[in-house]
Structure formats: C-alpha cells, structure tokens
Amino acid sequence: MSTAGLLVSLWFYRRSRDSAKGDLELSNPVELWQTIKFAMLFAVVLLASKAATTWLGARGAYAAAALAGMADVDAITLSMARLAHGSLPPRVAVLSIFLAAASNTAVKAILAARLGGWAFGRRIASAFAVVLAAGAVTVGLWAR
C-alpha cells in the first residue's frame, strides 16, 4: 500500500500545474492532552473489539474494525495486534486492520469531496482506490 501511495502521490505531483497556496498551521503532536485522548480512544476501541470478537467472533472483529476505522486507524490497529497475540487468529486481525484502513480512507475521500469539491474528491478517491486495491491484493495473497 505504501508503494502504491507513493507512486500515486508522485503522479499527482508531476501533473500539478500550480503550487499549493495558503497558510498551514501546525500544532505540537506530542501535547499531553492529545496523548490522553488517544489513550482513552485506545482503551475504548480495545474493549469494544474484545467484546465484539468474544460475542460475534470474526464478524464482530470485522464490524468493530470498520466502525472504529472511521475515526482512527491507530487504535484499532494496536487493538487487533494485541488481540492477535491471544485468542484472535492472525488472519482475522490482518483483515480487520485492512477494513479499518479502508473505512478510514473512505471517510477521508468523502471529506475531500465535501471540502474540496467534486473534481478534487474524484481525484482523491481514484488515488485512494489504487492504494486500497494494492492493499486488498496484498491481504488476499497473504491470507491464502
């Protein structure tokens, strides 16, 4: 997925005619409050993932991953990796992480279309589709 993302980014970069304009405001990513919020999100996602997996099996893990991925991929990735060391089969954890990444990517494509207009949204969605297709192929080959 990384290679596909890099290639698509390079393609967009080489095709761009104008440079980006506007101010970019950066914030400190290691602020204590951000860390606390992530820890709380991680705890909730881990608890929900474990409950869904316990009650619903693999389908529960997939559903929890798809829902959690809409907000954040990191928490569900860490949760599934942790559960894979216990009772969750690695194949289910890998597919769950991919589903979380796919749902997160879909949300970002929707945001791109909503905030940047349909033309921009279509370009972003097509780039994301290439990246997700590469990920699906990789997961499919690994899960055999």
For residue 89, tell me if it sits in a domain: yes
For residue 47, tell me if it sits in a domain: yes
Which of 68, 72, 40, 75 shows the shortest CA–CA distance to 52?
Answer: 68
Q: Determine contact, residues 102/131, Cβ cutoff 8 Å.
A: no
Write the pLDDT tens digit of every residue in 24-37. Answer: 576 666 677 777 88
Task: Please count the structural domains in the chain.
Answer: 1
For residue 69, tell me if it sits in a domain: yes
**What CA–CA distance (Å, rounded) separates 105 from 10?**
19
Owning domain of residue 99: 30-142
Positions of the chain with pLDDT under 50: none
For residue 111, tell me if it sits in a domain: yes
Q: Determine contact, residues 76/100, Cβ cutoff 8 Å.
A: yes
pLDDT at 20: 58
